[in-house]
Amino acid sequence: MSEIINVTRSSMPDYEEFCAEIKDMWETHWLTNMGVKHQTLEKELKEYLDVPYITLFTNGHLALENMLEGIGVKGEIITTPYTFASTTHAIVRTGNTPVFCDINDEDYTIDVNRIEALITEKTVAIMPVHVYGNLCDTEAIDRIAKKYGLKVLYDAAHAFGVRKNGVSSAAMGDVSMFSFHATKVFNTIEGGALCYNDGKLERVFADLKNFGIHGPESVTYVGGNAKMNEFCAAMGLCNLRHLDEEIAKRKVAAERYDERLGNVKGIKLNKRQSGVESNYAYYPAVFDGYKYTRDEIFDRLAAENIIARKYFYPITNSFECYRGRPGFDVDDTPVAKHIGDSVLTLPMYADLSVETVDRICGIILK
Ligand SMILES: *Cc1c(COP(=O)(O)O)cnc(C)c1O
Could you read off the pLDDT of 133-183 as tens digits, one per residue? 999 999 999 999 999 999 999 999 999 999 999 999 999 999 999 999 999
Q: How far is the CA of 185 from the centre of ligand 1 (A)?
A: 12
For residue 1, is pLDDT > 60?
no
**Is 317's C-beta closer than 6 angstroms to any atom of ligand 1?**
no
Pick the closest to residue 131 from 107, 105, 154, 100 (CA basis).
Answer: 107
Residue 75 is classified by DSSP as S
Q: Is 348 in the pocket of ligand 1 (CB under 6 A)?
A: no
Per residue in 89-118, pLDDT (tens digit) is 999 999 999 999 999 999 999 999 999 999
Instruction: Give me the mean pLDDT over the 274-280 stretch.
Output: 96
Q: How many CB atoms lie within 10 A of CB 294?
A: 20
Instruction: Decide: 132 in ligand 1 pocket, CB within 6 A.
Output: no
Work out the pLDDT band at 2, boundaries 50, 70, 90: confident
Q: Is the CB of 294 under 6 A from ligand 1?
A: no
| Integer CA distances (angstroms), 332 to 69, 86, 103, 113, in order | 28, 20, 11, 15
Q: Which atom of ligand 1 is nearest to the CA of 183?
A: 1
Cis peptide before 298 (omega within 30 of 0): no
State percent of the chain over pLDDT 90: 99
The secondary element (H helix, E strand) that includes residue 284 is strand 283-287
Average pLDDT, the chain: 97
The model's pTM is 0.97
Mean local confidence (pLDDT), 290-296: 98
What is the per-residue DSSP string for 163-225? Answer: EETTEEGGGSSSEEEEE--TTSSS--SS-EEEEES-TTHHHHHHHHHBTTEEETTEE-S---B
